[in-house]
Structure 1
């Protein structure tokens, strides 16, 4: 067949069906939950999860440790989760830290978000909070995720990291600006895993004993204090010790200097969510602490290193779908996409029975009708029925765990542009506030220098377009930021501001 050189070729599924919506997932109303019938989302995420074997597609380089979580404050007004039923309750935890974009052999000090994934081994099952060291992310719809990660990996032609790919994507997706500014600040190069905060990032829900729902965000505040490398310091450590963060954690725990984090939450009522000036389920936005203050919950301590890295850290499998009674989902689009993709990634990477691996096994009761599959290592249900309902066994649903119904704002299913709903199209206010209010004068200088250094790698015939478009985003966030970056790149400001967008 003759090669098709038409530059306007139709976008199709793997089976050849043309389709129109590559960036927005079908939902019930502009803020409602996503629909399982949007098979494009499934195809993109399922294919993405299988692109690399056997290391993780993202978060490949990491370390982890066991520890303990202890409840120190009463939050039973918000959730009926048994772990929070009394002050002093404890459970075992496993926490895995990681870098996001690099391969297993990459350096710990790369400029990159850091994964912060916690597994709570509770009596009501394992509960996973799978987050990062940042409260926001680069995209707000899961259809965008694989495209974004491709820009952080290697160029398909050169097999090199590409500034063109990264900044081209960011310049065409202004929703990324908030996270880009965090990444380009010194927060993008933490000194160690012990000296950074962790965030659940997504909006989740709490359900109380009366089946009332509130929305919630999780924050893990380091008790060791925030400590970051500057860009030159990170570069120097990369040449000195590529495993600096891994070594720092091992040395601290081995010496009895157990790292600790304070778990805090933010709470928003359903009524407040309907009137909040931004979409409260938008992963590129934060909830201001002045309006939704942090509420202390408990303390997490890491005090035990795994005796075998591969058995525990490499085979640890986290998924946002691992919830417990009293904790639920929200219409956060990225969270809804991860409910599918993370568990699917673990089944691909470790096999369908990955939750029988010791680090992933619930230490309490597990009863289900799953049978067979690769690497089944328990009794495989022995001679008990493998179907339900049946007349022979005693496994049955417990209706006391039923979640309350969720009232939806719409009964119209369509593909809604993620950036055109009320409260969804402001990509600049929070990014500007970050620059003006959250960063010190020296932090702002370092941010500009880091941006200029990263954008200086953009080259080729599209350079001016990419640079000028990204500068427009910086100008909209803060005029002084835009001016400083433009000056560092020797760009004519009037030309940059005139770039079509």
Structure 2
């Protein structure tokens, strides 16, 4: 037997769940007190769709320990960028909610927004394939409201009990702390291969949504289903959406890896420079509103965080916009010390019994206590409410407020009864009066057991190009997995979504798709049951395609190239008129032009004009730019012999970027691409120096972001 065969056999045995189980009969899961755990998959709830119970000591111990594992860096979402701005309402939502900032169209509500990657440390790269955090703190007149979300509308797991397991699996492996900010390793895919509920989220993470071109060019979602409560105490379910005014754009995975090497702060710098230059990012806030009476009318459960509501079933209603117009004054004081919490709500917004949300309501406070070191983290300036604050909470580490008087309790008479409780009609917060009548139970509703239909809906809704990107992403990630049994389990799960998808990934891995997917671990009941109560199933969707799920099917709402970075490849002997005309057209359209040359300082044009250089070829890289222009010039042919220029053009072409050339610049392009005829529609060429038609065509082409047809033909 070959050495490699021995290695594969060993890996298969190590990753085989049945083989491992027989060797670990004395290794039961226990609490930190040694109490054996019967169900490590479900939190204790008041009924299978009921609220999680505070008495669940197993959940509290597990999450408390997890929350305090690392200090002072955030355990997740450690790497972040943030900005100040404002939110303004288009139309009053008083029919649905009594939240003041969603009723008054004349009020601009201050906001602070933090974007982040999830898995990596503070020093990791912006361009990791990862979920992006998208959290907004509204400083309303009724108190702070935190909409704590992501750039994807669903999540990996259904119950908060599994959150520590998920993050432990995706973080660097504990024996060697490798790899950083990456999911392409055994422990992550081992966990996922045993958690079919994650398959919908996996489709999102393996799609282009996981590698955005800019934080300004991605959507945001509240993930969970929340409630709107109006002044009549009527409840509606609500999902939150942020729609970027610049549209959605992404980069290719090969490009993302190279950007990480050239500028790991790519997203952070892009956001900062856009705001600093006055190109303020904007998003519109949309809501999907579902009447209480329609809670059970869908073929999925509204409380399941691994599901979304297709926009074809419930359209997104745009209700306002958010503008980010000021960078932080101090990164640590603001971006690092800001504390978001999904439990920071105002009257008119309330929770549902989503079991992932219920766990987060406990976890966030616990985490902030560890990270910021005090129950007074709300007194840090970036976290302070603009609404008056009066309560009887006193002292504690880092207390800043100086409370006067001798009364610090309620009720009291010595302080005149102050501060008083507020009646509901005085703005007092009151939880929705939801009827609860159920047994305490660790179980999930059968309505949570469909794990594949929305994963299939997402994949089927993508264009052929986007589907190919998902196939490549899965092939890359699973190609990094060393344990054969894990890859086999994943191929089985992928076949439940789409057999062609599974077979294409299997081919890249040199494997075959199993005839039958392996049974998942038991998520329905505790370990005392041998059967799987809620075996995963596929529910036929009311819709087969949702165009809203595709990036390429949703062009930007406005055609603009504002803030796009365009590289001009130059050298001594370049034609100054060629540069001038194209540069003027691009700058008038809002783009940023950078002159790239063999050295910094200045170059001399063929007309004898000195031209300032922005970057040298040693510093520049095509992956940091959105488009390329090769101007005319008697000496411009020298570029074809410069190694860095060859790489610049080759990568730009490979990554489907638009390239424009004039006169002799076209000969440079032909030479480097080894093409006699450059008739690719993504290549814009002209024999005329200073061609205004070429400039106009280039500006128009750049609004489309990429010439994806080139990839389809290659």
The TM-score range, normalised by the shorter chain, is: over 0.9
1:432-451 correspondence runs (5 A)? 432-437=456-461, 439-451=462-474
Q: Does 1:188 align with 2:188?
A: no
Per-residue CA shift, 1:180-212, capped at 9, x if unaligned?
111111111111111101111111100011010
> Structure 2 residue aligned with 1:403, among 413, 425, 430?
430
What aligned pairs does 1:2-21 form with structure 2 within 5 A after superposition? 8-21=26-39
1:470 corresponds in structure 2 to 490
Looking at structure 1, the residues matched to 45 and 382 of structure 2 have their Cα atoms a distance apart, in angstroms, of 35
Report 1:84-163 matches (<5 A).
Answer: 84-161=102-179, 163=185
> Once the two structures are superposed, what CA deviation does each residue of 1:361-417 show, in whole Å capped at 9, x if it has no partner?
0012011111111100121x222411111112220111212536433464211111x
**1:166 and 2:188 are equivalent in the alignment:** yes
Give 1:336 deviation, angstroms: 0.7
Deviations 1:468-488 (A, max 9, x none): 111111111122211221122
Look up the match of 2:388. Answer: 365
1:6: how far off? Answer: 5.5
Report if the CA contact (8 A) 1:385-1:392 is conserved. Answer: yes
Structure 2 SS opposite 1:423: helix
**Residues 491 and 406 of structure 1: is their aligned pair in 2 closer, same or farther, counting only changes over 3 Å?**
farther
**Do residues 428 (structure 1) and 465 (structure 2) align?**
no
2:500 corresponds to 1:453: no
Deviates more, 1:480-489 or 1:58-67: 480-489
> How far apart in 2 are the matches of 1:79 and 1:67?
23
Q: Distance in 2 between matches of 1:185 and 1:84?
A: 33
Give distance in 2, aligned partners of 1:15 and 1:69. Answer: 48
Equivalences for 1:3-82 in 2 at 5 Å?
8-82=26-100
DSSP-derived class of the 1:226 partner: coil
**Counterparts of 2:432 and 2:228, CA distance in 1:** 13
Is the 2:79–2:124 contact (alpha carbons within 8 Å) kept by the matching residues of 1? yes
User: Contact 2:212–2:250 (CA<8 Å) still a contact in 1?
Assistant: yes
Give secondary structure in 2 for the equivalent of 1:275: coil
Contact 1:151 1:166 in 2 (8 A): yes
Distance 1:239 1:30, change over 3 A: same
SS in 2 for 1:433: helix
Residue 496 of structure 1: how far off its partner (Å): 5.3
* Structure 1 counterpart of 2:248: 226
Give the deviation of 1:88 after TM superposition.
3.0
Equivalent residue, structure 2, for 1:488: 508
**Among 481, 493, 497, the residue aligned to 2:516:** 497
Structure 1 residue 500 displacement after superposition: 5.2
Counterpart-to-counterpart distance in 2, 1:58 and 1:10: 28
1:303 match: 325
Over 3 Å counting, the alpha-carbon distance change for 1:404 and 1:345 in structure 2 is closer
How many Å separate the matches in 1 of 2:67 and 2:497? 34
1:339-378 maps to which residues of 2 (within 5 A)?
A: 339-350=361-372, 351-378=374-401
Report the Cα distance in structure 1 between the residues aligned to 2:517 and 2:391, rounded to whole angstroms: 61
Aligned residues: 488
TM-score calculated relative to the size of structure 2: 0.67
After TM superposition, give the deviation of residue 159 of structure 1 in Å. 1.5
Partners of 2:489 and 2:517 within 8 A in 1 = no
SS across alignment from 2:295? helix
- Alignment partners' CA distance in 2, 1:247 and 1:413: 50
Q: Structure 1 unaligned runs (5+)?
A: none
Tell me the CA shift for residue 498 of structure 1: 6.0
- Which protein shows a greater Rg? 2
- CA deviation map 1:434-469 (0-9, x unaligned): 1111x111110011001000001111xxx2321111
- Which of the residues 286, 291, 299 maps onto 2:308? 286
Alignment of 1:256 with 2:256, yes or no, is no
TM-score if structure 1 supplies the norm length? 0.95
Check whether the contact 2:493–2:517 (CA below 8 A) recurs between aligned residues.
no
Task: State how far apart, in whole Å, the 1-side matches of 2:128 and 2:227 are.
Answer: 33
**In the superposition, relative to structure 1, how do residues 392 and 201 fare at CA in structure 2: closer, same or farther (>3 Å)?**
same
Q: Deviations over 1:45-97 (max 9, x none)?
A: 11111000100000000010100000012221110111122223211000000
Contact 1:117 1:129 in 2 (8 A): yes
The CA distance in 2 between the partners of 1:268 and 1:128, in whole Å, is: 21
Q: Work out whether 1:265 is the aligned partner of 2:290.
A: no
Over aligned residue pairs, what C-alpha RMSD do you find? 1.4
Deviation string, structure 1 residues 407-433 (Cα, Å, up to 9, x no partner): 3464211111x3xx3321111111101
Q: CA–CA distance in 2 between the matches of 1:75 and 1:500?
A: 46
- How much has 1:497 moved relative to structure 2? 3.3
Structure 1 distance, partners of 2:231, 2:436, is 25
59-68 or 12-21: which moved more? 12-21
